[in-house]
Amino acid sequence: MAKEKSVYVCTECGGTSPKWLGKCPSCGAWNTLIEQAASPAAAGGGQNRFGTQFAALAGASDLAVLSEIEASDVARTPTGLDELDRVLGGGIVAGGVTLIGGDPGIGKSTLLLQAVDALQNAGQIALYVTGEESGAQVAMRARRLGLERSQVQVMAEIQLEKILATLDANRPAIAVIDSIQTVYSDQLTSAPGSVAQVRECAAHLTRFAKASGTAVVLVGHVTKEGALAGPRVLEHMVDTVLYFEGDTHSSFRLVRAIKNRFGAVNEIGVFAMTERGLRGVANPSAIFLSQHSEPVPGSVVLVTLEGTRPMLVEIQALVDDGGPSPRRLSVGLERDRLAMLLAVLHRHAGVACMDQDVFVNAVGGVRITEPAADLAVMLAIASSLRGKPLPKGFIAFGEVGLAGEVRPAPRGQERLKEAAKLGFSVAIVPKANAPKKGAIEGLTIHAVERIEQALDAVRSLD
């Protein structure tokens, strides 16, 4: 194929340059020029926005009145892996494009191989494009997963044009591209994995999906910082974005929907990595608790709500003498929020950690974003500072505001019931979340409106 000329387009202003420059000649921004194919068929909106191709719009498109457009619900094909279907909103959608991101080694290839095999067994044609591993390596993984009789078509290829030609000839129901970072297009000179290549290739694959009805799944790597040319630049392009979370040292993995044009977000799927691949965990509420035989200082169990299911997660804090510039570190929780909670603890409850290192960790590699974790984090910090454990069977949740007020968490009753079901016996929760009538069997509930009250309640439990 003849090499098309490429242009460099500024991501800030859309200005173009025939060669790469450190500084955009149009707006002067640094490091914003990204290579794009110059042909009109290529991806990206660069030139279209700037006039030269308006002639192509000559044939006007038909208009339709919104109320007359049939709002047909999309047909979904369940993958057969219940936890995956849960995050997808019921299954894969024809013509839908899904991006699955996650750290290397977390289980993306494993999950997708299991999913395409299940779909193939259900009578769908499935194609697995591998750019990272050879066909033999994929076959070895399949053996390990007990899928040695799998009829899934495998193609070891990284050149976009060849992949598209094969997809077009075979028209599979689902195609997995593992991974988008290894695919490159002939039209660009940038290296595979660069922003330009990743974007260009994903755009072509997306267009193919929409035109053919093939469901396309793109695999992308992210680093812990979410950096690297990869999934982040694709999020707006695709229909569904799933992220794998979890500590590669523990066996549990979470798959979280960040964006879903065909279903609810915030839903999570929970898996356990076993000797024979990923197995769904249908009742995940107790998997993120570590087993202490006796309560230890600095540990509080939080009842968090993920999607439609409450989960209990142990929050650990360690407060220790720091040097002249004490550190604040958090794993699985937001660091800025930690700084804020420490200030609230000091100002409203007189708990001072100014000269102390403070470390906070959500056990099991879960990432907790909901503010309802505040109260548990603060009680864990106070407990570590005092060197006193909370009582056995203790749970907490609730958001804490800058004025020291404890605000209710959504669906408090469900959280309390789940905790009671798992045998927890003492709770400190926002007043508005305490049961209005009757009690929850087996659970003593201390309802609080302010952070000082929560700490008083803890002392009364000693």
Residues near ligand TYD (CB under 6 A) are 102, 104-110, 141, 144-145, 273, 275-277
Q: Which does 411 bind (CB under 5 to 8 A by kind): ligand TYD, Mg ion, none?
A: none
Shortest separation between residue 161's beta carbon and ligand TYD, angstroms:
25
Which of 6, 10, 1 is CA-nearest to residue 36?
Answer: 6
Bridge partners of 329, per DSSP, are: 359
Nearer to ligand TYD, 177 or 305 (CB): 177
* Phi, psi (rounded to 5 degrees) for 224: -55, -35
Measured CA distances, 103 to 182, 228, 243, 290 (Å):
15, 11, 9, 23
- Euclidean distance between CA atoms 152 and 98, whole angstroms: 19
Which of 321, 330, 303 is CA-nearest to residue 393?
Answer: 303
The residue type found at 222 is V
Shortest separation between residue 230's beta carbon and ligand TYD, angstroms:
13
Nearer to ligand TYD, 171 or 276 (CB): 276
Q: Which does 102 bind (CB under 5 to 8 A by kind): Mg ion, ligand TYD, none?
A: ligand TYD
Shortest separation between residue 124's beta carbon and ligand TYD, angstroms:
21
Which of 16, 79, 109, 187 touches Mg ion (CB under 5 A)?
Answer: 109
Q: Which does 91 bind (CB under 5 to 8 A by kind): Mg ion, ligand TYD, none?
A: none
Shortest separation between residue 190's beta carbon and Mg ion, angstroms:
22
Nearer to ligand TYD, 60 or 227 (CB): 227
Nearer to ligand TYD, 26 or 248 (CB): 248
Interface with Mg ion, residue 77, by CB under 5 A: no
Q: If you write DSSP's letter for every residue of 26-73 in order, what string do you get?
A: TT--BS-EEEEE-STTSSSSHHHHTSTTGGGG-SPPPP--GGGS--PP
CB atoms within 10 A of CB 29: 14
Shortest separation between residue 14's beta carbon and ligand TYD, angstroms:
35
Give the residue carrying structure tokens 């279209």: 48
Nearer to Mg ion, 228 or 422 (CB): 228
Q: If you write DSSP's letter for every residue of 361-383 in order, what string do you get?
A: EEGGG-----GGGHHHHHHHHHH
Q: Which stretch binds Mg ion (CB under 5 A): 104-112, 255-263, 277-285, 333-341?
A: 104-112
Shortest separation between residue 151's beta carbon and ligand TYD, angstroms:
19
Binding site for Mg ion (CB under 5 A): 109
